[in-house]
Amino acid sequence: MGVFGEEPVLPQQQPGELDAAYWGRVERLTDRVQAREEGADAPAPPAASVCPQCGLAADRFPTRSKAWVFLEALEPAAEVPAHMVPPFFRWLISQDGVAWCPGDAEPAPGATCRVPHRLVCPGVDWSKPWSWLAAVREENARKAQFLYNPPRLPDSSGEGVSSA
C-alpha cells in the first residue's frame, strides 16, 4: 500500500471470521502499515511531537489502529485541497480526532485533507516533489534554519550577538 500501481496485499480471512470483523481487522492493519510506509508514523505521547529529521513540530494524531501519525500543520490553513494531494497521502481527521487515510478513493469536489509531514520535511530528500510541496518544504527549511541558527542581533557596539 502507498506505492502507486501496486495492488495491496490483504491478510487471509480466518475460518469462521465474519466479514465485518475481517474488514475491521484489515482497516486497522492498513492505516498502521500505510503510516509506516509514508514515513508518517510518529511516537506515542508523551514523546515530543517533533520530526526526527528536521526538528520541527508536527501535528500528531492517533489512527484507528491506535498507532500515531505526524501530519503537517500548514500555515495559515491546516488543510489543503484533496485533489492536489496524490492518493494514499490524503489524511482525514474524524470528528473525534482520529486520523485515517482513504487510500485511492476519489475526493469529493471541494474536499480538503492533511498531508504527512514527511512530504514537506526539509530533512527528507525527494527527487521530484510536487511544486506546491516544494514551496512548503522551502518554508520549512527556513523555519528549521531559524530554529537551529537564530539570527544575530546587533549589540550596542554594532557587533552581532546571538539572540539565544
pLDDT of residue 22: 78
10 within domain boundaries: no
Task: Give the integer Cα–Cα distance in Å for 152 and 159.
Answer: 9
Residues 42-55, mean pLDDT to the nearest whole number: 83
In a domain, 160, yes or no: no
Cβ 119 vs Cβ 93: under 8 Å: no
Domain range for 69 is: 20-148
Residue 50: pLDDT above 70? yes
pLDDT digits (tens, 9 = 90+) for 103-161: 778 888 888 899 888 888 888 776 666 666 777 778 888 888 777 776 677 766 655 55
For residue 125, give the DSSP letter: -
Q: Is residue 14 part of a domain?
A: no
> Could you give the number of structural domains in the chain?
1
At 6, the pLDDT band (50, 70, 90 cuts) reads: very low
For residue 131, the model assigns a pLDDT of 66
Residue 11, in any domain of the structure: no
pTM above 0.85, yes or no: no
Across the range 50-76, mean pLDDT stands at 83
Residue 29, CA distances (Å) to 6, 10, 91, 114, 119 in order: 17, 9, 16, 20, 22
